[in-house]
């Protein structure tokens, strides 16, 4: 059963996700960052449906558990496409959009196949474990892709402050989630301890993105070389 604090975090997270979309519409950048906004809208919808299922069937029900993990896998795939749209943005001037999209689809298919191969060897609950495995692996692939994108931003001397903050916050979010999933996989006996971290981590991305859409003007610029941990 969820406690009042968990409900508050959940509500806050959903509110922040809605704020991202509102800020993007207000700042007239909804279409420019369409995949990011589709992802945030899907998060809000999934959150509302989850709440409805929780209310009807209860936290311990298999319906809630199935919906939670399946919707999480779908949302991760959507976030994966949001990331590929950021790639298109950074590589836009090189006319490499088609290659980026093709690469994203191939990587997604490869991750799904790898997850299926891992699960097939080790689990009797094939589909359920597959959904969990693909989420964990996609978070990690997303994390590696975000790192490559960050390296490309540094290399191409991309200066758009908003784009830089969107990418960096996505990197923090992916790393937190990937680490959390890995911990739950490594220590299944104490997975409930890490489970309550999920909604807290989930608040970070919408908070960072709403700040980026709300407070940073599209024409704001900064030198990305000064942000790298190892100075260039």
Partner 1 sequence: MTAAFILICSLGFLLMFFVSYCRSLLATSSAEALSQEVRDVTGIVTTVAPEDFARVMQLLHLCPDRPEERGRIRTVSAYYGFLGVMRATIAAASPSLKSWADRERAQCGYFAAVVLGRRIAFSRDLLAQQMMP
Residues that bind partner 1 (CB under 8 A): 118, 136, 140, 143-144, 146-147, 150, 161, 164-165, 168-169, 171-172, 174-176, 178-179, 181-183, 185-186, 207-208, 211, 214-216, 220, 222-223, 226-229
> Do residues 74 and 112 lie in contact, with contact meaning Cβ atoms separated by under 8 Å?
no
If the CB atoms of residues 54 and 129 are measured against partner 1, the closer one turns out to be: 129
| Burial grade of 37 (CB within 10 A; 0-12, 13-18, 19 or more) | buried
Q: How far is the CB of 58 from partner 1 (least distance, A)?
A: 30
For residue 22, the SS3 value is helix
Q: How far apart are CA 146 and CA 84, in angstroms?
A: 9
If the CB atoms of residues 34 and 186 are measured against partner 1, the closer one turns out to be: 186
If the CB atoms of residues 47 and 165 are measured against partner 1, the closer one turns out to be: 165
If the CB atoms of residues 85 and 137 are measured against partner 1, the closer one turns out to be: 137
Q: How far is the CB of 181 from partner 1 (least distance, A)?
A: 7
Q: At what angle do helices 62-90 and 97-122 cross, to 10 degrees?
A: 150
Q: How far is the CB of 182 from partner 1 (least distance, A)?
A: 4
Q: How far is the CB of 86 from partner 1 (least distance, A)?
A: 14
> Do residues 86 and 173 lie in contact, with contact meaning Cβ atoms separated by under 8 Å?
no
For residue 221, the SS3 value is strand
If the CB atoms of residues 49 and 148 are measured against partner 1, the closer one turns out to be: 148
Q: How far is the CB of 135 from partner 1 (least distance, A)?
A: 12
Non-local (6+) Cβ contacts of 147 within 8 A are: 171
């Amino acid at each position: 059963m969820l406690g009042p604090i968990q409900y508050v975090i959940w509500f806050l997270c959903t509110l922040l996700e809605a704020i991202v979309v509102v800020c993007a519409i207000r700042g007239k950048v909804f279409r420019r960052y369409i995949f990011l906004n589709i992802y945030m809208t899907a998060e809000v919808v999934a959150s509302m449906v989850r709440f409805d299922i929780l209310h009807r069937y209860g936290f311990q029900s298999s319906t809630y558990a199935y919906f939670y993990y399946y919707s999480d896998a779908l949302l991760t795939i959507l976030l994966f496409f949001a990331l590929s749209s950021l790639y298109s943005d950074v590589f836009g001037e090189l006319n490499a959009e088609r290659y980026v999209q093709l690469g994203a689809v191939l990587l997604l298919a490869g991750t799904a196949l790898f997850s299926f191969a891992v699960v097939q060897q080790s689990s009797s609950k094939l589909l359920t474990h597959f959904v969990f495995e693909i989420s964990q692996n996609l978070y990690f692939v997303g994390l590696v892709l975000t790192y490559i994108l960050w390296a490309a931003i540094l290399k191409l001397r991309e200066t758009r402050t908003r784009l830089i903050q969107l990418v960096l916050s996505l990197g923090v979010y992916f790393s937190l989630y990937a680490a959390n999933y890995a911990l739950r996989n490594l220590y299944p006996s104490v997975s409930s301890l890490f489970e309550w971290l999920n909604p807290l981590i989930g608040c970070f991305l919408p908070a960072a993105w709403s700040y980026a859409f709300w407070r940073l003007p599209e024409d704001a610029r900064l030198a990305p070389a000064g942000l790298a941990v190892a100075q260039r």
